[in-house]
Structures are given as structure tokens and as C-alpha cells.
Chains A and B, each alone.
Chain A
Amino acid sequence: MLYAILCYAQEDAVSSWTKDQDDAVMQRLAVVQEKYARAGKLGPVARLLPTTAATTLRQVRGETLVLDGPFAETKEQLLGFYTVNCDNLEEAVAFARELCAANPSGGGYEIRPVGVLNPVAATL
């Protein structure tokens, strides 16, 4: 079974960490990840850019609205995610718009730029 493990934390506190604190956390996470990477079990790991860089598409009365900021509703749950390599936000929005059109759930899609892929490998 392939599992997705999602990381949640208080963003403004994490972004207030000093570089040393941030590096120390990354190091500790690296130790954990390495174990699973060596066993050939670890897939891609991503550290996302802050939610201030997020854009959200919502379906409201059959219309797709593009809004700034993260997906803020709490009555919906996270059901899946995509990673897609786009030239710019415009292209990512177009992709998410197609997803909205194909998906009658009435929910939404949050677009978050990926800061670093496999950040632990990047810091080592």
C-alpha cells in the first residue's frame, strides 16, 4: 500500500525559526527519512512554499472561482493531491480549472508552489 503522509504545523511559528533551528529540524527529519529511503520505501518528499503563495480554485454554484490564499474551509477534507510541472501559475490554474470541470464534487483545489523537492537530500 502506498501512503501519503501530510505534514501540518503552525506556519507563522515555523517561519519564525532561526536558520539554525530550521536546519536542526531538517537534520533530524533526514535521519528518519534516510532509513526508509535506504529500504527503498520512500517516494518524493516536498516542502511547500508558505500559504501566502497559495491560490485556490473553488466551485461556487457551478462556477469556478480563482481566489488568493490557501483552502480555508474546514467542512471539506483532503482527498488527494497532484504534482504537476508548469511554466507558471497561469498554467497550473488552467490545469486545476480542468480538474474542477471534470469533478462534480463541488469542492476545490489549492495550488501550492513546491519550495524544494526532497529537501532533506538538498540540505545534506
Chain B
Amino acid sequence: MSDISWIDPLVAAARPQAVAALLRYFRDLDLAEEAFQDACLRALKNWPQNGPPRDPAAWLIFVGRNAAIDMVRRRSKTAPLPDERVLSDLEDAEAALVERLDGADYRDDILRLLFVCCHPDLPATQQVALALRIVSGLSVKQIARAFLVSESAMEQRITRAKARIAAANVPFETPGPVERAERLGAVAAMVYLVFNEGYSASGGDVAMRIPLCDEAIRQSRLLLRLFPSEPEIMGLTALLLLQHARSRARFDADGAVVLLEDQDRGLWSAKMIAEGLALIDKAMRHGRPGPYQIQAAIAALHDRAARAEDTDWQQIDLLYGALEAMQPSPVITLNRAVAVSKSRGPEAALAMIEPLEPKLSGYFHYFGVKGGLLMQLGRHDEAREAFCRAIALANSPADAAHIRMHLDRLSTPAA
């Protein structure tokens, strides 16, 4: 275990708590990050020799705090700061700090750190970039690759986001229950955004996108450890696990999209599915359904079906109905229509989605679904028209290629 590669997971696991605590000390995101960086460098030197500390987060916070105080002192050279324990006292200090961390409100520290990343002043893409940089510690280069932009453009995006946060002045006082619940809701949405950025594969490097899903799951589990009785956080974690479980089956060797019904279910991760199902089970006991729980339940019905034809579409239709009532949205209705097409046939589904067209006229999936339904009904000319509109709106070459396959199938008999 002296191998240096074992230090990475320890540092990665400690990062949110450590950066969050350093942010509380210094109230400056850049300084907190720098302090953490510095502590990591020292950990790389120290841990292989002395073995990892009992509580890596406490070690990193303590060492990082001292390093940052040093930095501030060197930069400002103004009034000296109060005496700090020196590094040689580390053992004692660590023990004291651990005690404080255990009992203290580090939960609110971490929530604050996550919350600054999803501040309402920030556009979604900046929220995701910032969360990946600050909470997950991905390098600017890695994030830039995932978003398919240059490193300098991503650097700029993150710098701009940080400036906005500094201007927004998120309070450092312990939040009240209402504020805490609001923060939790915003943070959950941001975690889902990170996941979807990885899951949707809308351009960017596919190899870089799977780690985004892993990061989102890690953040979601972290939230669940901080708020163990929140059924919606159980639902969110379950949803991410149940969707990510299928990731190895979603693309074929050439990178082409494989639809759910055509996927090799043997490639699905039984481990993630088991965890997701256990979490839904747990959430349901609370009897407080919410959008994440319902979406997780839908994902579970897919994951539970040993073969595509075993899928309980009627139940999925009902769950989408419940979701629609909770969060009316044309995209949800569109998803429901897919379930309806399986349980009640394509005609009923088409009737359901046609009124959505004005709202979804710029949405790739709308025309993909519409084309598919028209094709099933034998209305080939209209299907072709819908597929062409879908291709024009496709976000990725893989999506466009998939629709083109349908188009080819339509034109073959006619030719």
C-alpha cells in the first residue's frame, strides 16, 4: 500500500471536506484551493514515508491552513498573524482538530462549498465547470476536454464564475433550516447537471465523460452521508446509479448509440443496480415521493427487466404521469409518450406529443420520437420529414448517425 497511486483516492475522498473547511477559514475560494494544493503536495511527500494519517481530511485541513497562513503572511507582510502551532506539533493538533470536525458543523461547510458552485447567478455550464474544478478537483485541462473547448477558454470561464461568486457574497453564517433545504435542493440539481453533462455525450470526449458521471455519483453519495434522511437525496443517488449502471452498454464498439431495448443487459453493472434499488427501497419507506425518486423508480423498472420485452411499460406510464403532475414539462410528456407507445400503441402516443410541437420545435428528441412513431404507423413521408428535422437538431454525431440509420431503413424499400 506504499504505492503512491493509493494516495489519490484518499486525497480525492477528503477533498470536499478539506476545501470546504479551508473556505470557511479564509473565505476566499482561490486561497482555499491553493492551500489544499499545497497540503496535497506535502501529503505526497509525507504519507508514503509515514503512512497515511488516520483522518486524511483533518491532516489536509491542518497542513493547508498553515500553508495558507504562510502565504498570506508572505504576501501582505503587514501585521503578523497570531501564533499558530508549528508543523512539528501536528499529531496533537490533528487529534484536537478531528474532535472538532466530528462534532462540528462541517456538514454546512460542505453544503456551502457545493452551494457556491451552483449559485443562481451562474449559468448552468459555469456551475458544472466550477463544481468539477472545486469539488471534484479535476484539472482545467480535463474539464476543457470534456466540454470540447480550449484550456484557456475553460480557464476564463472558471475565473469568471469565481468572480461572480465573490461578488454574490454567499453568507458564512450557519444556515437556518429553510435556507439549508433550499441550498440542498439547488445542490442536488447541480449534481444532476454534472451527471447529465457526462451522460448525454453531447459532444466532447466520451472517455472524459464517464468520469463526470462517477464524480456526480460521488457528490451525491456525499450529500446522502451529510443528509441521511432525505428521501429525495436517496432518490437522486439511486437515479444516478441506475442510469450509470447501463453506461457500458449504451454505445457499441464504433461509438454508435445502442437504444435501451437493444442493449446487452449482461453489460449492465449489477453492483450499481443493487445499490440503486436498495436506496429506492429506503426512500419509499418515508412516503414522501419527489421527482428524483420517481425518476429513479422509472430507471429501476428498466433495470429490473431481464429482457426488453419484460419491461413494465404500464407502470412506467403511471410514474411519468405522477412526475408530470409534480413538475409539468413537455419533455416529461414526451418521455411518457414513449411508454404509452409501448403499452397503448403508437397512435395514442402520437396524439399525446403532437400538441407539444410548438414548445419542443428546437428539441432533437421530439423529432426523433415523432419520426419513430410515424414510422411504426407506416406514415413514411411524414416520418422522413421528422427524422430530417431531428438530424438538423442533433447534438452529437452519434445521435445524428442513429437517426440516419432510421432514414436509410425508410428509403430502402422505396428505392
Contact = CB atoms under 8 A, between A and B. Distances in A.
Interface of A: 10, 12-18, 21, 49-53, 55, 66-69, 88-90, 93, 113, 115-116
B275 interface: yes
B352 interface: no
B139 interface: no
A53 B279 contact: yes
Given A52-B224, A52-B279, A69-B228, A113 B274 contact: yes
Interface residues of B, number: 26
Contacts of B9: 13-14, 16-18, 21
**Main secondary structure on A side of the interface with B:** mixed
Given A12-B225, A13-B14, 14 more contacts: A12-B14, A12-B222, A15-B13, A16-B218, A21-B5, A21-B6, A50-B275, A66-B285, A68-B228, A68-B234, A89-B282, A89-B285, A90-B285, A113-B278
Contact of B274 (A17, A49, A89): A49
A119 B275 CA distance: 15
Nearest to B57: A12
Contact of A67 (B10, B222, B229, B274): B229
Interface string B244-284: 00000000000000000000000000010011001101100
Contacts of B56: 10, 13
B237 interface: yes
B228 A49 contact: no
B170 interface: no
A1 to B, nearest CB: 30
Contacts of B12: 13, 16
A24 B281 CA distance: 31
A52 B13 contact: no
Contacts of A21: 5-6, 9
Contact of B282 (A17, A68, A115): A68
